[in-house]
Amino acid sequence: MDGFRSIDTSSMLAGIVDGWALNDGDLSCAIAGNVDWRDYELADIQLKRDPAQALLRGYRRYGTDLLRTIGGRFSLALWDSSKRSGVIATDRFGQMPVYWSAVDDGDLAFGPTATAVALLTGNRATLSDQGIFNYLYFHMVPAPETAFKGIHKLMAAHALVAHDGKWTTKRYWEPDFREDADTSFADAAEEMVGLLSTSVSRLDDGESTGAFLSGGLDSSTVAGLLARHRPRPKTYSIGFDAEGFDEIGFARIASQRFDTQFETYYVTPADVLAELPRIAASYDEPFGNSSALPAYFCARLAADDGRKRLLAGDGGDELFAGNERYAKQEVFERYTLLPSWSRRLLLEPALRLLPDASRLVGKARSYTEQANTPLPDRLHTYNFLRRLQAERIINRDFLASVDTELPLQLDREIYHQPKVASRLNRMLYLDWHHTLADNDLRKVNRMCQLAGIEVEYPMLDDRLVELSTRISSTRKMRRNRLRDFYKRAVSGFLPDEIINKQKHGFGLPFGVWMAEDLGLQELAMDNLSRMKRRRYIQAGFIDEIIALHREQHAGYYGEFIWVLMMLELWLTAQGYEP
């Protein structure tokens, strides 16, 4: 065979999952998702016929360059047997994942999950040491690696392209960040709100569509714009009976402003005990973001209420500079403005001579150490494996089998990928991959799928993304004020309480709950005991982190206990015995 593992259209459709497929002579194709063509003729063909017909026409017109004309949420595959050429691709943010593996005789197996690819190759997926290490480092497994040997996943905005039967991976799109394209604030703000409103309208499927509503900037904006298009839409939020975690009050303010039908659910420790094993098992790879659980309960609340689709606000922070680390890095960059001789010969030697007992001296040393670490490496300062030291956490033999620098190298490659970009925009671009494609979107997609509901992301509209690249860094984050442009643009539309609130989200108070709830303690101890029998984590460290959780900071150390527990639950569900 040449090309795909199986060339018939039905197999291609299985590889893409739940889409449209077509055979036409030498051409076979399959495409899935909510496709947004930039070519008006192709958009018209899709509207009047179906996306597969538009894909074939696009290939005949543009060849594999057709990816320049396609947007939205999609995955696609196309094979031209006469030329032995083809393309397999995922969208600009990897909303629809594509896993793949090279097999014998130049064939390529691909699918929406690693499990599907393993079945196509006829082998049970073998765990990758590097993939497991990457999970422990990132709390998920970022593309292009997976948790399995020989199986890869496409990074966002990437494609597999074949010429004469030989497949290579290529990036088909990258942003053109510009610092000199600012129009007047009023024009830019009007364009942003207009594009977002159009995106919400396009993705609104009528009464069956609702919206997540956390009470943050993005979910509140999406809910408000949905209410503009359709009176009293349904919105859904999650609460926690734990101080510092419950955000329902802000969500209620947004609901009252826009007159939505507001439904809430309070997650409890009993919910964690009841659903956590199923949630861990639902992911194709180990996944340690604790906010997956509240995302699931919110999606289930909407599905039980009759919704078929939810609109989510993910993406706004990564487009318009809303994460605290962006402002924090500017504080460190100020240190580099001092003359190098004064830092190297005066300030830093003086700090080394001062007594260790002073808390202020400790903070000053930490500041200079971080400031002397270049980006993007500095973003990993508080990573568990770096802060607590991988040598203390991971078994020596396992650590020797992996490249401990690979996570940093992956970040460096992404960070430096844009040809011309400011420091801020490089951090945003890095987050497009790791925070969005590899983490938040994977989290919400899978939890909505588990709940039986579809999800769409109006903030990731291609035109809105491109607008964000034309807004200068100083306008996005003016004087270290996060999302300054966005907040001013929605002033008067969103309530002031939401514009001025601190960023929060659907964080789960697992560490706090575990300190008091016997059921959660038993669940954690059972899984950590099983983890001790595996080759990954030192048994002594597991005992140590349990003590640190109990005696020092329940929230902080509880998060890493969650990461280890989710790995063990996933391994057990997949049948990998200790």
What CATH number does the domain containing 470 carry? Answer: 3.40.50.620
Q: How far apart are CA 227 and CA 559, in angstroms?
A: 36
In this prediction, residue 8 carries a pLDDT of: 46
pLDDT above 60 for 505: no
Average pLDDT of span 250-262:
97
Find out whether 444 and 295 touch, Cβ atoms under 8 Å. Answer: yes
Q: Give how many domains the chain has, as a whole number.
A: 4
Q: How far apart are CA 430 and CA 439, in angstroms?
A: 12
Can you point out the beta strands (E) in 306-412? 309-311
In this prediction, residue 13 carries a pLDDT of: 55
Average pLDDT of span 380-396:
92
In this prediction, residue 364 carries a pLDDT of: 77
Give the 3-state secondary structure of residue 478: strand
Question: Are 135 and 22 part of one and the same domain?
Answer: yes
Q: Residue length, the chain? A: 578
Average pLDDT of span 70-87:
91
- Kindly state the DSSP code that residue 103 receives in the 8-state scheme: -
Question: Are 252 and 372 part of one and the same domain?
Answer: no
In this prediction, residue 272 carries a pLDDT of: 95
- For residue 508 the two structure tokens come to 């789960």
Residue 239 CB-half CA count within 13 A = 14
Give the 3-state secondary structure of residue 331: helix
pLDDT above 60 for 329: yes
% of the chain beyond a pLDDT of 70: 95
- For residue 435 the two structure tokens come to 């925070």
pLDDT above 50 for 359: yes
Count CB atoms within 10 A of the CB of residue 125.
22
**What are 176-218's pLDDT values in tens digits?**
999 998 999 999 999 999 999 999 999 999 999 999 999 999 9
% of the chain beyond a pLDDT of 90: 73
pLDDT band with cut points at 50, 70 and 90 for residue 474: very high
Residue 346 lies in a domain: yes
Average pLDDT of span 477-482:
92
In this prediction, residue 504 carries a pLDDT of: 61
In this prediction, residue 12 carries a pLDDT of: 57
pLDDT band with cut points at 50, 70 and 90 for residue 105: low
Question: Are 289 and 367 part of one and the same domain?
Answer: no
Residue 333 lies in a domain: yes
Question: Are 380 and 313 part of one and the same domain?
Answer: no
Q: Which of 109-113, 344-348, 447-451, 543-547 has the lowest mean pLDDT?
A: 344-348
* Runs of H (alpha helix) within 289-355: 292-304, 316-320, 324-335, 340-342, 348-353
Q: How far apart are CA 507 and CA 267, in angstroms?
A: 11
In this prediction, residue 341 carries a pLDDT of: 76
Average pLDDT of span 122-151:
93
pLDDT above 60 for 108: yes
Q: Which of 77-81, 371-375, 506-510, 568-572 has the lowest mean pLDDT?
A: 506-510
The helices-and-strands tally (H runs, E runs) of the chain is 29, 14
Residue 428 CB-half CA count within 13 A = 29
Question: Are 276 and 155 part of one and the same domain?
Answer: no
pLDDT above 70 for 256: yes
Find out whether 459 and 222 touch, Cβ atoms under 8 Å. Answer: yes
Q: Which of 105-114, 142-151, 390-399 has the lowest mean pLDDT?
A: 105-114
Question: Are 398 and 452 part of one and the same domain?
Answer: no
Of the residues 129, 149, 171, which one is the last residue of a structural domain?
A: 171
Q: Count Cβ atoms within 10 A of the Cβ of residue 150 and give its class: 0-12 exposed, 13-18 middle, 19 or more buried.
A: middle
In this prediction, residue 17 carries a pLDDT of: 58
Question: Are 304 and 387 part of one and the same domain?
Answer: no
pLDDT above 90 for 109: no
Mean pLDDT of the chain: 91
Give the 3-state secondary structure of residue 483: coil
Look at strands 209-212 and 166-171 and give their pairing: unpaired
Supply angle C-alpha 107, 112, 117, rounded to 5.
Answer: 40
Residue 260 lies in a domain: yes
In this prediction, residue 7 carries a pLDDT of: 40
Q: Which of 213-217, 351-355, 517-521 has the lowest mean pLDDT?
A: 351-355
Residue 459 structural domain: 185-321+427-499
Count CB atoms within 10 A of the CB of residue 339.
9
In this prediction, residue 357 carries a pLDDT of: 66
Question: Are 16 and 114 part of one and the same domain?
Answer: yes
Cβ-count burial 159-170 (b if 16+ within 10 Å, e if not): bbbbeeeebeee
Question: Are 346 and 224 part of one and the same domain?
Answer: no
Q: How far apart are CA 88 and CA 30, in angstroms?
A: 9
| Enclosing H/E stretch for 563 | helix 554-573
Going by C-beta distance under 8 Å and a sequence separation of 6 or more, which residues neighbour residue 27? 56, 59, 78, 79, 80, 81
Question: Are 151 and 193 part of one and the same domain?
Answer: no
Question: Are 106 and 48 part of one and the same domain?
Answer: yes
Q: How far apart are CA 452 and CA 310, in angstroms?
A: 11
pLDDT band with cut points at 50, 70 and 90 for residue 432: very high
In this prediction, residue 358 carries a pLDDT of: 73
In this prediction, residue 372 carries a pLDDT of: 85
pLDDT above 90 for 503: no
Question: Are 306 and 340 part of one and the same domain?
Answer: no
Find out whether 570 and 279 touch, Cβ atoms under 8 Å. Answer: no
The residue among 413 and 24 whose pLDDT is bigger is 413
Residue 419 lies in a domain: no
pLDDT above 80 for 39: yes
Going by C-beta distance under 8 Å and a sequence separation of 6 or more, which residues neighbour residue 190? none
Find out whether 158 and 413 touch, Cβ atoms under 8 Å. Answer: no
Q: What is the pTM of this model?
A: 0.94
Average pLDDT of span 480-508:
89
pLDDT band with cut points at 50, 70 and 90 for residue 5: very low
Count CB atoms within 10 A of the CB of residue 372.
14
